[in-house]
């Protein structure tokens, strides 16, 4: 079956630093790889600054998908705010990280406050 959604980040060029994003299997919402398991608060997301860490995180994501915890994990290139919080570089990833732009009362932006 052909892919019927746009998997992966669309950022071109240098892809680091990065975080790992996925959809939670049960709830369907966006989750981020944390130091230990998954978090819904992107400010806590584990950040890969080098390729080796990124590869390890990706492998961990694949493992979680195989274990039926998450769906479609992928690395998301980010920039860091002054507080050191990761913010996705591509507008599509930002939408997932925050929530719908037309409903600021929904999604992660509603649960955790403004995300940069």
Partner 1 sequence: MYRYDEFDERFVRERVDQFRTQIARRLDGSLSEDEFKPLRLKNGLYLQLHAYMLRIAVPYGTMSGRQLRQLAKIAREYDKGYGHFTTRQNLQFNWPKLKDIPAILDLLADVEMHAIQTSGNCIRNTTADQFSGVAADESEDPRPTAELLRQWSSQHPEFVWLPRKFKIAVTGAEHDRAAIKVHDIGLKLKRNEAGEPGYEISVGGGLGRTPMIGKVIREFLPKDELLAYVEAIMRVYNAEGRRDNKFKARVKILVHETGAEEFTRRVEDEYAKLDGPTINAPQEEIERIAAYFAAPDYEDLPAESVTLDSARREDAGLDRFVEQNGFAHKQPGYIAFTVSLKPVGGVPGDMSADQMDAFADIAEKYSLGELRVTHSQNLVLPYVKKDDVPALYTELKAHGLATANAGLVTDIIACPGLDYCALATAKSIPIAQEIAKTFADDARQKEIGELPIKISGCINACGHHHVGAIGILGLEKGGRENYQITIGGDATEHASLGERLGPGIDGEDVPGAIEAIVETYLGEKQGSESFIETVRRVGADPFKTRFASFVEERSKALEAAE
Residues 11/35, Cβ–Cβ less than 8 Å: no
Per-position x/- string for 20-59, each x denoting binding to partner 1 as judged by CB under 8 A, each - no binding:
---x-xxxxxx-----------------------------
Cα distances (angstroms) measured from residue 46 to each of 20, 60, 67, 100: 8, 12, 20, 23
Between residues 6 and 35, which has the closer beta carbon with respect to partner 1?
Answer: 6
Cα distances (angstroms) measured from residue 33 to each of 38, 72, 111: 5, 12, 17
Alpha-carbon span 33 to 36, nearest angstrom: 8
Stretch that binds partner 1, among 31-39, 42-50, 51-59, 67-75 (CB under 8 A): 67-75
Which of 41, 90, 112, 116 touches partner 1 (CB under 8 A)? 90
Query: By the criterion CB under 8 A, which residues form the site for partner 1?
Result: 1-2, 4-6, 10-12, 23, 25-30, 65-68, 71-72, 90-92, 95-96, 99-103, 106-107
């Amino acid at each position: 079956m052909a892919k019927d959604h746009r998997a992966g980040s669309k950022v071109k060029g240098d892809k680091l630093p990065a975080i790992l994003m996925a959809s939670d299997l049960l709830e369907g919402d966006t989750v981020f790889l944390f130091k230990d398991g998954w978090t819904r608060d992107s400010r806590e997301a584990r950040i890969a600054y080098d390729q080796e860490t990124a590869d390890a995180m990706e492998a961990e994501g694949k493992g979680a998908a195989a274990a039926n915890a998450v769906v479609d994990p992928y690395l998301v290139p980010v920039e860091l705010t002054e507080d050191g919080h990761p913010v996705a570089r591509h507008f599509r990833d930002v939408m997932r990280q925050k929530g719908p732009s037309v409903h600021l009362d929904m999604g992660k932006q509603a649960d955790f406050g403004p995300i940069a």
